[in-house]
Structure 1
Amino acid sequence: MLFSSPDDEVTVRYMPQGDFVTHRVTNQPPALADFDALACDPALTSTITDAELLERLHDIGRRTGSAQAREHGRLANENPPVLHTHDRWGNRVDEVEFHPSWHWLMGQAVELGLHAAPWSPDAGPGAHLARAAGFYLWSQAESGHGCPISMTYASIPALRHSPELAERFEPGLRSRTYDFGLREPGTKAGLLAGMSMTEKQGGSDVRANTTTATPLADGSYELVGHKWFTSAPMNDLFLTLAQAPGGLTCFVLPRVLPDGSRNPIRLQRLKDKLGNKANASSEIEYAGAIGWRVGEEGRGVPTIIEMVSMTRLDCVIGSASTVRAALTEAAHHVAHRSAFGSRLAGTPLMSAVVADLALESEAATRLAMRLARAVDAGERSLLRLALPVSKYYVCKRCPIAVAEALECLGGNGYVEESGLPRLYRDAPLNSIWEGSGNVTALDALRAMAKEPSTVDALLAEIDLAAGADARLDAGVADLRKELADPHPARARRLAELAALCLQGSLLLREAPNEVSDAFLATRFGAEATRTFGTLPRGLGTTALVERVTPV
């Protein structure tokens, strides 16, 4: 029919709504929900040899891929935490309010034991590997809540430097009950720990610390100072560094004191971060806060060093998890989307890009799990060098890989609803946390200088694949030259080469031939690629893509 405006200047043709076809949706992938995140991850499944553990991990994989978990991850980030410094009557409360989805995610992680299971007295062999695999899978649902989970995991070995404090707090830290809220630790069903080390004038240089700790008659200390970054401020305990009479010392501070009063730990503000929005990161003041010494006075850094190692391990695992989450989104999209008459996954160039992302993911995952096995085996010399170089390289590659995965979705990937922008904002975090790139690379040089056995342990691990492939052998020869003449200006090159050689060795020993061959062809030698998808001629990509595509 025709519709005329009152002044008859405009005539519009009106069609009954049933005749419109513009809102018919075609050529869009189905919702990615209710899938098993482990089922499409051969890098992880082939690493796990215990059938019972594998079944438990499939349960985590199904939880991760559930529509419920994915929705909670979205909501927790779209509704970030809110700081309340005072109540309505003007009393200081220093509390952070979280969205219910945050609490749901935290409850799942604690129930699964991702915060402390390896430290339980009944933890069997391979407990750190089991926990690493679970943390890797579950972090794909939402990575921000992994921060307090990781802090709690890392706090226990530090607390054990003071057995009486470990006896007091460890049972609550190991509990699988998530019990949110500020109450005296001894009255709670479960505890979580945070970390408060850096200050604005020092950053990674924790020895520039200006917080003071004054001994009190009862054996406790009174702390006064300002901390620039404090992870997870609503946790129950914090490990912190302060200057005691004997030098830089580690302390544990509860949010609530034994008499039930609030410890004067003032939350000044929450940081407005690039990503990691669901998690609260704060700036705090110790206004005469009470703490107890962990380890000896003046031995603060050695006391926390194992905590730093555990959190660096989680940085590697977390970055591998983020790369895998982005790969899953990209592989799912191209499996269902068509362009120019062809399914995207079947086009040579898109197949090359996703296959290359799959190689990156597999190498990162296998390296992360190898580091976890080293923790189980007590391979201290290997970890002392392999851990910083792995953190350097895997975390640096994460933002690049996520950006490429986002681009696989085209404009859809740039839209918040796709979930890729959240992954992209989260991707740089692990490279900064626990020592940014320069700090971590230089730490590798310090490890070599102080403990030459670390070099022997690293090369022994890499040399398990010696002679299996000329490309890796050439890369290892370059690495040996760097190790023989380390220099601060070359620290990044050394870290990159070491991590790549570790990955190449692991893939040659553990992965299918088509995976290891493609990785070595793209990461070593004259044809080493500079952007994802620029593969040498003759590499098959279809099988590499199909093995990582979610069902």
Structure 2
Amino acid sequence: MDAANRASANQAPPLVGHNVVTSDLALVEAVTRHGSADVVEDLTLLGLEAGTAEAREHGMLANRHHPELTPYDRYGNRVDEVVFHPSWHWLMERGIGHGLAATPWESDAPHPHVRRAAGFFAWSQTEPGHGCPISMTYAAVPALRADDAIAKEWTPLLASRRYDPGVRARTDKVGALAGMGMTEKQGGSDVRANVTQARPTSQDGTYTLHGHKWFTSAPMNDVFLVLAQAEAGVTCFVVARVLPDGTRNQLDIVRLKDKLGNRSNASSELELDGTVAQRLGDEGRGVRTIIEMVAATRLDCVLGSASLMRRALAEASWHVAHRSAFGSRLADKPLMQNVVADLAVESEAATALALRLAAAVDRPGDAHEAALRRIALPLAKFWVCKRTPFMVAEALECLGGNGYVEESGLPLLFRESPLNSIWEGSGNVNALDVLRALSREPEVLEAWITEVGLARGADERLDRAVDDTLALLGDSAGLEVGARRLAGQMAACLQGSLLVRCAPPEVADAFCASRLGTSFGGTFGMLSGGDLAAIVERTTPVP
């Protein structure tokens, strides 16, 4: 065989050996803006590890070797255990070790939620599936605070930086993970249609649950927040996988789901038949009790989608910087510059909005921040997660045929890209939640107006978009049918305000020209004018 056929030329090297945090200027600037340079410094080791060849390999292996359900042990005892590949445990150990689970709720350090959000954003680029149990563990703590005694039992373990897998009682563990069981097959997002029954026992606050849960991810977690029907209506319960006396709770895993996206995480159906549970909050107030968990997981949906965008963008910009065609580098071709710059604008807008929401969590006593978080979470959840599949698909195309093979990592990102638009409420659910908030909590509109108003006068396109969006609110008859349009415009205005105030002028200008007051619908690479080469250079990872 000819020597030229035995070695490849004009191929981009693997994207490894870079710092996923410090090579992302949009992330660094957002963390510094809402936190400090010290927070960026604290995340440097995480960024280094996330950019290693080892992390990339473990991410691939965790998805190549699927979790396996073991319903019975060799002696015929019901055990309902899920066995994961060692790469899953490698990823989990480091994610937990970097403080990405519930650590911020117990932290005395400045800006703990901004730090955690940036770390979750960066570390999730290694592999998206293991972020699910980490996210639910983070989100469980504010809901558990509905009962001081239960919160004191579980929070220190959920906030631990030690990954301690295995089915054991809480008192025998140095770290724990949390999950949730909300949806059922007949109701989906309509949790008030749940039929799982909660029957009180002779012990105060203790019930047994009887029913079927349609989606419960990470069934090997240690504790779950579950919704069930008590006498007074939908109620929230805490279900430990192992009871205090060391016996296994009645938590039967019916099957693992065969999903579209990642294969590393085990999503399951559970049957509850006499499952012991503690009531969390008042009977009939289950949705209100668990809503704080939902809010926190919605934030992670935004962060997760922004992370997918950034990983896809990094792969695309890296590839075109190292691949030549028709006489020059792809990155120097005007049309390719247009595409990558457009992808970079989308990614930076998502990153800026996600970190702004995390900053609101760091200011729990601030009325403006609370109101902004209430309206901006469903807005961002709707818009950023809805934009992700289009963006990832375009990034994949930048690699051509190389992007269509599993070894590139892009097919996994593409399959994963619709997930966060469905998890914790589909697009319609979040758009309608925006209407609900606007109709019931007038302070949220004031918070949105205040936030976008911080950029008032800086860009006339943004000013017009804000005015046009407010005009939509005057059409009360068409609000529901136009809820998606309203949510998209409100979210884009928030992104535009952040970029106009904080991003380089070329990024802000490209965003306002292409996303505000236009018919922009998903095709990238249609920017007109501006310093596109500077945007591409800003976003390309540097080893």
| 2:6 matches 1:23 | yes
CA contact (8 A) 2:31 2:355 kept: no
Matched with 1:138 is 123
Shift of 1:124: 3.0
- 2:500 is aligned with 1:508: yes
The answer for the alignment partner of 1:212 in structure 2 is 197
Aligned to 2:178: 193
SS in 2 for 1:489: coil
3-state secondary structure, aligned to 1:488: coil
Distance in 2 separating the partners of 1:33 and 1:454: 43
Q: Which residue of 1 aligns with 2:79?
A: 93
Q: Which moved more, 1:45-54 or 1:164-173?
A: 45-54
Residue 547 of structure 1 aligns with which residue?
538
What are structure 2's unaligned runs of at least 5 residues? none
Instruction: State the match for 1:401 in structure 2.
Output: 391
Structure 1: give runs of 5+ residues left out of the alignment.
1-16
Q: Give per-residue Cα distances to partners, 1:306-353, cap 9 Å, x unaligned.
A: 110000000001100000000000000000000111100000001110
Residue among 132, 147, 158 paired with 1:147? 132
Q: Quick one: distance in 2 between partners of 1:109 and 1:21?
A: 42
Residue of structure 2 in register with 1:464 after alignment: 454
Indicate the SS of the match to 1:103.
helix
Instruction: Give SS of 1:84's match.
Output: strand
Match of 2:381 among 388, 391, 398: 391
Contact 1:40 1:547 in 2 (8 A): no
Cα deviation 1:365-416 (Å, max 9, x = unaligned): 0000000111112321111111101100000011110000000000110011
Give the aligned partner of residue 47 of structure 2.
61
1:46 alignment counterpart = 29
Shift of 1:79: 0.7
Distance 2:171 2:323 in 1: 55
**2:513 alignment counterpart:** 521
- TM superposition shift of 1:28: 0.4
Q: Percent identity of the aligned residues?
A: 60
- Given that 2:461 and 2:512 are in contact with CA atoms closer than 8 Å, whether structure 1 keeps it comes out as yes
**C-alpha distance in 2 between matches for 1:51 and 1:525:** 35
- How much has 1:48 moved relative to structure 2? 2.4
1:492 aligns with 484
Query: In the alignment, is the contact (CA less than 8 A) between 2:456 and 2:463 conserved in 1?
Result: yes
Q: TM-score, normalised by structure 2?
A: 0.96
Q: 1:213 to 1:527 in 2, by over 3 A?
A: closer
Match of 2:523 among 514, 518, 531: 531
| SS of the residue 2:255 aligns to | strand
Give the aligned residue type for 1:430: N
Give the AA of the match of 1:515: V
Contact conserved, 1:522 with 1:529, CA < 8 A, in 2? no
Deviations 1:153-176 (A, max 9, x none): 000111110111111111111111
Shift of 1:529: 6.6
What is aligned with 1:360? Answer: 346
Q: CA deviation at 1:193?
A: 0.3
Residue 444 of structure 2 aligns with which residue? 454
SS of the residue 1:48 aligns to: helix
Q: Report if the CA contact (8 A) 1:80-1:98 is conserved.
A: yes
Within 5 Å, give how 1:113-512 maps onto structure 2. 113-120=99-106, 122-219=107-204, 220-378=206-364, 379-486=369-476, 487-512=479-504
8 Å CA contact 1:271, 1:282 repeated in 2: yes
Question: In 1, distance between residues paired with 2:56 and 2:113?
Answer: 26
Residue 515 of structure 2 aligns to which amino acid in structure 1? R
Does the CA contact (< 8 Å) of 1:521 and 1:527 recur in 2? no
CA offsets, 1:8-67, max 9 Å, x none? xxxxxxxxx5x5532231100112111111233111111223232111222211111111
Closer/same/farther in 2, CA of residues 41 and 497 from structure 1, 3 Å limit: same
Question: Which structure is larger by alpha-carbon Rg, 1 or 2?
Answer: 1
Q: Distance in 2 between matches of 1:529 and 1:435?
A: 22
Contact 1:318 1:430 in 2 (8 A): yes
Counterpart contact for 1:521–1:528, Cα < 8 Å: no
Rounded Cα–Cα distance in structure 1 between residues aligned with 2:493 and 2:3: 59
What is the alpha-carbon distance in structure 2 between the residues aligned to residue 471 and residue 527 of structure 1?
14
Partners of 2:410 and 2:488 lie apart in 1 by: 26
Runs of 4+ in 1 over 3 A off after TM superposition: 525-530
Residue identity opposite 2:530 in structure 1: L
Task: Name the SS of the counterpart of 1:222 in structure 2.
Answer: strand
